[in-house]
Amino acid sequence: MNDLRWIPLIGQFDISDNRIIFRGALASPTLGLSGGSVEVGNLLCNQHFGGGTLEATITFAVPNEQTACGLMLFYQPATLSFIEAQLGGQPFVALMTWANSQWTAHGAVGVGSQLQPNRPYHLRVAASGSSVALSVDGVNVLSASLPFPLPRGQAGIWCKGDGQITIEGFRIRAEKPRAFVVMQFTTPFNELYAEVIRPVCEKLGFVAQRADETFGPGLIIADIERQILDSQVVIADITPQNPNVYYEVGYAHALRKPTILIAESPTKLPFDVSPFRTLFYENSIAGKSRVEAGLRMHLEAIAAATGLARESPASSILTSA
């Protein structure tokens, strides 16, 4: 934790090199974030998160229904909104969003009364795209899906309770955002992917992947659905009217994934797709440079809007969550 810097927004925290102590107490509501009659704390760090793993060891001196500790996967300063993986409270673990002065639960399991006083619990969060998985002491206990790709934002710690909570070994391992590419696996689309789409994605910090780059046993459609769920953006070439491609585009839209549609000019798009903004390209040397520029602008816009850009402000995605 030597490279981490912390700023407490509310609540009393003692911070040392590898240990954070939240000084819980009885309190009146603070900034609308209180747990009722107990103190609440928000502690932000200088590290950003938008996918990967986030973990820490949490110990409660006095566990009860009013006591909980959450690892914040994303914080938005403009609206005070955040997403947190919570240990304790009424459920044993939960994935929660605080936005518009109210909580939204994306998944919860167990009962908080299972927590034992002065027993360390290692909470680990693995996030990719919209998928979030929580484990406690190496046991997978919860898998949930956010209704949007996890934005990139500040990480931190959220606590509430009337007793001491100790957090040790806070650690972040961030992963690059993923772009799942949907297209027909034939010439000239293979060349478009290898020579344009993948290089543009890599230059902007995305990891591009197609379904035919996944190996191992399993159902192909299940792998595709998982890859779409785990991605931050979907890029789809809809030039040929391929039912598989349209199915995957529809699935991405249902998940509210940012989706970039591209097509070779002068493709006539079906009625249901034609209203969406589409990046048209020509299969020529001049066309290559134009589609590169267009794809780059689309990806940069999505990165800025969802907080994936390294220097962009936090996403506004939680303003109406």
The per-residue DSSP string of 61-112 comes to SS-STT-EEEEEEEEETTTTEEEEEEEESSSSEEEEEEETTEEEEEEEES-G
- Domain final position from 138, 155, 174: 174
Tokens found for residue 177: 């955002």
Place of tokens 């986030």: 54
Among candidate residues 7, 122, 11, the one with its CA nearest the CA of residue 71: 122
Whichever domain contains 166, its CATH number is 2.60.120.560
CB atoms closer than 10 angstroms to residue 30: 15
Q: Is residue 25, in this structure, part of any structural domain at all?
A: yes
- CATH number for position 299: 3.40.50.450
What is the token pair recorded at 9? 């927004």
Please report, as a single letter, which amino acid is at residue 191.
Answer: E
Domain total of the chain: 2
My answer on whether omega of the bond before 120 falls inside 30° of 0, hence cis, is: no
Does the pTM exceed 0.75? no
DSSP 313: P
Using left for φ > 0, alpha for ψ between -120 and 50, and beta otherwise, residue 100 falls in left
Q: What are phi and psi of 241, to 5 degrees?
A: -80, 75
Q: Do 130 and 35 share a structural domain?
A: yes
Strand-pair category, 233-237 with 259-264: parallel
Token pair of 212, please? 């035919």
314 falls within a domain: no
Provide the token pair at 111.
């009962």
312 inside domain: no
Spatial CA neighbour of 178 closest among 228, 125, 124:
228
- The answer on 131 and 170 residing in a single domain is yes
Structure tokens that stand for 113 in this block: 């009364």
Q: Is residue 81 part of a domain?
A: yes
Question: What's the pLDDT score for residue 311?
Answer: 36
User: Is residue 307 left, alpha or beta, with left meaning phi > 0 and alpha meaning psi from -120 to 50?
Assistant: left
Residue 320's φ and ψ, nearest 5 degrees, are -130, 20
Look up residue 249 and give its two tokens: 């585009």
How far from each other are the two terminal CA atoms of the chain, in whole angstroms? 32
109 in Cβ contact with 91 (< 8 Å): yes
DSSP code of residue 244: H
Per-residue pLDDT of the chain (321 residues; tens, 9 = 90+): 458 899 999 999 999 988 999 999 876 554 445 445 899 999 999 998 989 999 999 999 999 999 999 999 999 888 899 999 999 999 999 999 999 989 999 999 999 999 999 999 999 999 988 899 999 999 999 999 998 888 888 999 999 999 999 999 999 998 888 899 999 999 999 999 999 999 999 999 899 999 888 766 667 788 899 899 888 899 999 999 899 999 999 999 998 889 999 999 888 888 777 788 899 998 887 778 889 999 999 999 888 776 654 433 333 333 332
* Structural domain includes residue 315: no
- Pick the last residue of a domain from 132, 150, 174: 174
Structure confidence at residue 31 (pLDDT): 46
- Residues 163 and 125 grouped into a single domain: yes
Same domain, 140 and 30: yes
Which letter does DSSP use for residue 151 in this model? Answer: P
Please return the burial class of 115, using the count of CB atoms within 10 Å of its CB with bins 0-12, 13-18 and 19+: buried
Residue 63: which domain range?
Answer: 6-174
C-beta of residue 307 within 8 angstroms of C-beta of residue 292 = no
Judgement on whether residues 112 and 201 belong to the same structural domain of the protein: no
